[in-house]
Structure 1
Amino acid sequence: MKFQLAINMERMDASLDMKDVARHTLEMVQMADGGGFNIVWAAEHHALEMTIAPNPFSILAWWAENTDRIRLGTAVAVAAYWHPIKLAGEAGFLDLISGGRLEFGIGSGAYQREFDRMAPGLKQSDAWRYMQEMLPCVRELWKGDYEHNGEFWSFPTATAVPKPVQKEVPVWVAARAPITYDYAVREGCNIMSWPLTRGMDEAETYMGRLNEAMAAHPGARRPVMAMMRHTALYDRKEDWMVPVRAAQRQLGQFENLFKNLGDVKDGFPKQIPFEDLGNRAEYDPKMLHDNLMFGTPDEVIAKLKQYEAIGVDEFIYYASLGLGLPEQKRSLELFINEVIPAFS
């Protein structure tokens, strides 16, 4: 099993200075670079302090300049917010300046709140159509001159400038629904999946969807299958509630965005009180501890072995869950020093 890091610049409230957040994020990426992680991912989100990522390529260029070997991925570039020529060129430039380290992740986008601002009138549930038109268009622009007349974009002959230095840029899609697994296999894309706070049965469901997609496309290349979980390690078992409390707070804000309640002040979403949540069972402390990648190094190794056993190729360590900055660094240090060697 290989390991990837997903990390955002994040502030849960205004008590953290933005400069400290930026410095911390880069130091975490540098730790992953020297500690054996394969890929680091930067997101795209807008007008939200909990995920400060207005342009994933700017973030990756920053990381590229300050790392040596780790590969650099977009998780994900939101198709509907881009023009194909601009997206292809930004990706090509990042691949050029990083020495061919780009991993190109593309997706539909997560929050209706963002679509209301970035692509007014577009429903999040319809955004997959933009992604499925965008990806083949970008791939053609990477090859050379290409004219496009599609449903969402049309332009005369153009090409990506600059082009990627890799002969074939690895492409990733975020997949949960069966239709997306089928698309990934058909189009030769790797898959990143996220069971949110659900149990191993959800992870097993995703692996089943991959197997069904492979059966529907005989002879297709099997995608690399990566699975993401919120991750936090600690030295003492009795500290198990520290990351649980952080996750409850962050997930309460996530619910606000997911339901598009409109209760966001100066970029900070209000946390929905637990008593107002219809899905309170998804925030139960023991459930969060058991389902998420929380634990001592030995506990986390045992959890990861379950993912390895069902066929997950790479694990995405999701570091951003509102945990304190020192606790985040100690967690990553424990993972690098004690967990990764168990899978060498």
Structure 2
Amino acid sequence: MQGIGLSLPNRGILFGAISVAEMLDLAEFADKGEYFDSVWVGDGLIAKPRVESVTSLAAISARTERVKLGVCCLATFPLRQPVMFAAQWASLDVLSGGRTLLAVCLGATTERSGGNVVAELTATGVTGRERVPRLEEGIRLVRALWSGPTAWDGQFWSFPEVSLEPKPIQDPCPIWIASNPDPARMPERRYRAAIERVATLADGWQTAVTTPEEFGRKWDEIRTAAQTAGRDPAAMSSSAHLMINLGASRAEARTEGKRFLDTYYSMDSSDEILDRWGAFGTPEDVLTRIDEYLERGLDIPILRFASFDQPRQMELAEQTLLPELQRRRRAVPAC
């Protein structure tokens, strides 16, 4: 295990699950403590609205000194103008002292978010079919802009040579891809393309809503594909966004966890979805579930408290869960 991440519910500000002050306090608490190595926020526009991610991280960077700052994940990346975004993210890297960790993804699906996705795509002038090629071209373009003078003639963007300043402090500035391809629900060619996209374009992989077994199988496939493409799989990292709720019993923790997730994502979570999202129960229950991911090669568990009392969950985690996770980090060499 390489580290432990804290995911802050910046969407929760919209419905009272957390205040701006509480969110910033939690980030500062994580930074000053000994357990968390990274702090993350979510991203969304119309399909899953929330306080904007890059702006949120800028505020968090002013309250922290040590932890990495990430988006988990940047769902609006295919919708954003890449030259403008490259400048924004480079500036964030400079302001934070080189602490950014970018994970980009394709964004919400109509299956999960219904008509809001259609409205989001229509409002931003992007079609559903364009999201994959825009993501791939966008990654290449942003990296080029961060590297030096860039002229571009692509499918979606074309311009004569420009130089972007400032450059990120990190060189290279990491870009991960977040995805959760499901071979049972998509054609084989699309599944293979999703695996190879991470293996060839990304510095790491982030996923969510997946069982430990599924995580391990896909991570093995990504590393194999990376090696086939001539890359060193050991240079890539993996992370999983895990919802947790610590309670006196499984029933108590699952009840609040479900209520939080249903409100946060505007859905009715089944028992299967809850099991795929993460772990709900006593500290021992949650630790056992996280261990199942670690045993299959997970480098960075990113924990979000599925609770309407975020400070209390942080207190419980610091007293019970996090010390045990810290021991696992010391016992297991980084992959």
- Give the shorter-chain TM-score range: 0.7 to 0.9
Q: Which amino acid aligns with 1:181?
A: I
Q: Which amino acid aligns with 2:327?
A: P
The 10-residue stretch of structure 1 (308-317 or 297-306) with the greater mean CA deviation from structure 2: 297-306
Q: CA RMSD in A?
A: 2.8
Give the corresponding residue for 1:3.
4
Give the corresponding residue for 2:246.
233
Give the corresponding residue for 1:156.
160
Distance in structure 2 (CA, Å) of the matches to 1:161 and 1:119: 32
Alignment check: 8 A CA contact 1:116 1:122 kept: no
The 10-residue stretch of structure 1 (125-134 or 62-71) with the greater mean CA deviation from structure 2: 125-134
Q: Which amino acid aligns with 1:68?
A: E
Give the corresponding residue for 1:246.
256
Q: Which amino acid aligns with 1:149?
A: D
The 10-residue stretch of structure 1 (206-215 or 136-145) with the greater mean CA deviation from structure 2: 206-215
Is the aligned partner of 1:147 residue 2:147? Answer: no
Q: Which amino acid aligns with 2:304?
A: Y
Alignment check: 8 A CA contact 1:243 1:294 kept: yes
Partner deviation per Cα, 1:36-75 (whole Å, 9 max, x = no partner): 2122122221247x75232x22111111110110011122
The 10-residue stretch of structure 1 (126-135 or 199-208) with the greater mean CA deviation from structure 2: 199-208
Name the CA shift for 1:226/1:163 in 2 (closer, same or farther; >3 Å). Answer: same
What SS does structure 2 have at the residue aligned with 1:35?
coil
The 10-residue stretch of structure 1 (243-252 or 125-134) with the greater mean CA deviation from structure 2: 243-252
Give the corresponding residue for 1:37.
36
The Cα of 1:24 is off from its aligned counterpart by: 1.4
What SS does structure 2 have at the residue aligned with 1:5?
strand
Name the CA shift for 1:167/1:72 in 2 (closer, same or farther; >3 Å). Answer: same
Name the CA shift for 1:111/1:246 in 2 (closer, same or farther; >3 Å). Answer: farther
Name the CA shift for 1:220/1:140 in 2 (closer, same or farther; >3 Å). Answer: same
Distance in structure 2 (CA, Å) of the matches to 1:119 and 1:161: 32
Distance in structure 2 (CA, Å) of the matches to 1:294 and 1:228: 14
Distance in structure 2 (CA, Å) of the matches to 1:204 and 1:221: 14
Name the CA shift for 1:291/1:174 in 2 (closer, same or farther; >3 Å). Answer: closer
How many pairs are equivalent? 309
What SS does structure 1 have at the residue aligned with 2:280?
strand
Distance in structure 1 (CA, Å) of the matches to 2:161 and 2:230: 35
Q: Which amino acid aligns with 1:154?
A: S
Is the aligned partner of 1:117 residue 2:117? Answer: no
Give the corresponding residue for 1:204.
216
Equivalent position to 1:101, from 96, 99, 113:
99
Name the CA shift for 1:322/1:127 in 2 (closer, same or farther; >3 Å). Answer: farther
Distance in structure 1 (CA, Å) of the matches to 2:109 and 2:174: 26
The Cα of 1:230 is off from its aligned counterpart by: 0.7
What SS does structure 2 have at the residue aligned with 1:75?
strand
Give the corresponding residue for 2:60.
63
Give the corresponding residue for 1:264.
none
Distance in structure 1 (CA, Å) of the matches to 2:256 and 2:128: 27
Is the aligned partner of 1:187 residue 2:201? Answer: yes
TM-score normalised by length of structure 2: 0.81
Q: Which amino acid aligns with 1:134?
A: G
Distance in structure 2 (CA, Å) of the matches to 1:163 and 1:115: 35
Name the CA shift for 1:87/1:129 in 2 (closer, same or farther; >3 Å). Answer: same
Name the CA shift for 1:158/1:10 in 2 (closer, same or farther; >3 Å). Answer: same
Name the CA shift for 1:176/1:155 in 2 (closer, same or farther; >3 Å). Answer: same
Give the corresponding residue for 2:333.
none
Give the corresponding residue for 2:301.
315
Name the CA shift for 1:219/1:62 in 2 (closer, same or farther; >3 Å). Answer: closer
What SS does structure 2 have at the residue aligned with 1:226?
strand
The Cα of 1:219 is off from its aligned counterpart by: 4.2
Give the corresponding residue for 2:19.
21
Alignment check: 8 A CA contact 1:289 1:295 kept: no
Structure 1 residue ranges without an equivalent (≥5) = 256-268, 275-279
Q: Which amino acid aligns with 1:340?
A: Q
Structure 2 residue ranges without an equivalent (≥5) = 111-115, 182-191, 331-335
Q: Which amino acid aligns with 1:245?
A: T
The 10-residue stretch of structure 1 (111-120 or 164-173) with the greater mean CA deviation from structure 2: 111-120
Distance in structure 2 (CA, Å) of the matches to 1:293 and 1:281: 11
Distance in structure 2 (CA, Å) of the matches to 1:253 and 1:126: 30
The Cα of 1:101 is off from its aligned counterpart by: 0.6
The Cα of 1:130 is off from its aligned counterpart by: 0.9
The Cα of 1:294 is off from its aligned counterpart by: 2.2
The Cα of 1:291 is off from its aligned counterpart by: 6.7
